[in-house]
Structure 1
Amino acid sequence: MSNAAPLSGVIPPVCTPLTPEREVDTASLTRLVDHLLEGGVHGLFVLGSSSEAAFLPDGHRRTVLDTVVGHVAGQVPVLAGVIDMTAPRVADHARAAAEAGADALVATAPFYARTHPAEIATHFRTVAAVADVPVYAYDLPVAVHSKLTANVLLELAADGVLAGLKDSSGDDAGLREVILGRRDRGLESFAVLTGSELTVDSALWMGADGVVPGLGNVDPHGYVRLYDAAARGDWTAAREEQERLFRLFGLVHVGGPHMGRSSSALGAFKAALFLCGVIAHPTTALPQVPLDGAEIDQVKSFLSEAALI
């Protein structure tokens, strides 16, 4: 097995700024990338859940890829989500992302059609075969209704199909099983990244390599401080930074009961970036319900309490 170091650090899932007409706001997107790079992040993940990839037409997806890959110009790795229902559709996105210059691909299990673990394995093998860049599995059972098991992930890692995992399952025991299994099987190069931004200190303590935090769009410096504290073994500092970020994360709930959780969270992230002067508009993709003025004011209060404005 390869002894190469796994991908590690803070890798935010980059929001997709939109104009009021819901075109990709490339000027705001490049400012957001600069904001993240100035925050010290170690990579960028575009076209994931926080990027509103599920809402973006293919042309918008390509605009995001071209803009971010071109602007980053190799400073940090750019991971591209290639999320779609089944392997043939994902394979098309994978080819496009590789052609655009993405450094790696991120795919969920197939969805809509009910699948078996054997079919999930075939899905990832199919995606890995079409593009000569690393593939990361995205475990997101709340959206795709399938849990990626440790056995499937580690077997695919051992076969060179998967380079790592973004775990957004919320299953801490399952995450530990993957981390232990990686060690026991000698798969040191298989990266384990948590997407559970409220328990990053715990995941790093267990042996995870990094974090993919949606809130990292708003406060990349905070997540980098958390990661750096953990890397030097200062778990008290890591916990204190995590607790500060936990309180800031309360902004995702400002939308209340009249909109979906996604609308509230993504609207809050974009409102925060708008209030901080990073993006020009807090527009979210249809059919998400937008935050109103009072809710944006609540986001401002969270930012003020966190000393971000």
Structure 2
Amino acid sequence: MEKKYHGVIPPIITPIDEKENVDEDGFRRLIDYCIEGGLHGIFVAGTNGETMALTQAERNRAIRIALDQVKGRVPVIAGVMDTSTRRVVENIKQLEAMGGACAAVTPIFYDRHTSQDETIRHFEKILRETNVDLIIYNIPPFTGVKLTVPTVLSIAKLDQRVKGYKDSSGAYADFMQVVSVYRDTPFSVMQGVTGMALSSILMGSDGFVPALAPCFPGMFTSAYEAARSKDMDLTWKYNEIIRESSKILGMSRNATAAAKYAISLRGFTDKRVIWPQDVIEKEDETKIGNKVKEIDERYAQLKREG
């Protein structure tokens, strides 16, 4: 069963100009590069897109540009994460006004967390007051709470508009429990930890959300197809390349700066990150440039070998 939300869906960066406004031209060209490279969707205004660092107006502008440029070619998932249910509902209503069809929703953050039930209530109210598809987004490092398997299953049962689950917790056993429940249903289960991505696909998950997919769209889509086809030897080879590519994110003090620089080498966007994050150093640029070239060469060689 091919589900609505599946495959390689990048948490796309938000290119910015010198005033920290969205670089519309660069963003549009990057989106086209991703789609033409075979990626299966776009996740805009996520963590990698610096969504909470953008002003609300620029966050909405990034989402609007993505929806307009994609033009229905692939699904667009928009991050609406925020610090209260009311704020998230307002974000989704703005998304609806733009014509958006799917929102990624995390637990609230910054406030104290007292129970798993609060997140179930969070989704219940969102579902009552909005009309888009929802993706449950579990990302404990940024929300301060890890969703349990029973909580995910409870939210998924609330309404058929809850279409999927993206797990960036790194709890592989928990993730596989969710996969086992939804393998033969329309509900999508997507791995958010790139190092676990291909093994997750082999075991039945529906997709993954790698930060560097906009830099290497062909490589990541080929890796996904290898795993989906259960070609163990080829999947192993792609896993080695993906593991090597992930080193890019650790080549700067700031993983976002590293990702933005690597993607900027494709010629569409600038390397800028939003103040006051650490910027990338010159020596890091050299290392990342060399690693990007290495990954390109290894992917080309693997394609030649068939």
TM category (shorter chain) comes to over 0.9
- Equivalent residue for 1:242? 239
**What's the CA shift string for 1:34-70, capped at 9, x where partnerless?**
1101110111100101101011111111110111101
Amino acid of the structure 2 residue aligned with 1:130: E
Q: For structure 1, which segment, 228-237 or 62-71, has the greater mean C-alpha deviation from structure 2 after superposition?
A: 228-237
1:95-106 residue pairs with structure 2 within 5 A?
Answer: 95-106=93-104
Partners in 1 of 2:48 and 2:170 — Cα distance? 16
**Counterpart in 1 of 2:175?**
175
Aligned to 2:151: 152
Counterparts of 1:152 and 1:266 in 2: how far apart (Å)? 30
Alignment of 1:94-173 (within 5 A): 94-115=92-113, 116-160=115-159, 162-173=162-173
Q: Secondary structure at the match of 1:56?
A: coil
> Residues 72-123 of structure 1, C-alpha deviation per residue, up to 9 Å, x if partnerless?
1111111100010111111111111121122200011112222311111010
Q: Secondary structure at the match of 2:11?
A: coil
Deviations, residues 107-156 of structure 1 (Å, cap 9, x unaligned): 11112222311111010112222221110011001111111111121122
Using the size of structure 1 for normalisation, the TM-score is 0.91
The match for 2:208 is: 211
Contact 2:124 2:158 in 1 (8 A): no
The aligned amino acid for 1:44 is I
The answer as to whether partners of 2:12 and 2:211 remain within 8 angstroms in 1 is yes
Does residue 63 (structure 1) correspond to residue 68 (structure 2)? The answer is no
User: SS of 2:52's equivalent?
Assistant: helix
> Given the alignment, which residue of 205, 210, 221 partners 1:224?
221
How high is the TM-score relative to the length of structure 2? 0.92
- Structure 1 unaligned segments of length 5 or more: list them: none
The 8 Å contact of residues 94 and 130 in structure 1, kept in 2 or not, is answered as: no
Q: State the superposition RMSD in angstroms.
A: 1.7
The 3-state SS of whatever aligns with 2:162 is coil
| 1:1-309 → structure 2 map (5 Å cutoff) | 5-115=3-113, 116-160=115-159, 162-182=162-182, 188-255=185-252, 259=253, 264-279=254-269, 281-307=270-296
Listed as ranges, the gaps of 5+ residues in structure 2 are 301-306
- Separation (CA, whole Å) in 1 of partners of 2:92 and 2:165: 17
Offset from partner CA, 1:141-173 (integer Å, 9 cap, x none):
111111111112112212215211111000101
Runs (4+) of structure 1 moved beyond 4 Å? none
The amino acid across from 2:125 in the alignment is T
Per-residue Cα deviation, 1:206-254 (whole angstroms, up to 9, x for no partner): 2110011111121111110011112222122122112101101111112
Q: Is this contact kept in 1: 2:45–2:51, CA < 8 A?
A: yes
- Which stretch of the first structure deviates more once superposed, 97-106 or 47-56? 97-106
- SS class of match (1:203): helix
Greater shift, 44-53 or 299-308, is seen at 299-308
Fraction of identical pairs, as percent: 29
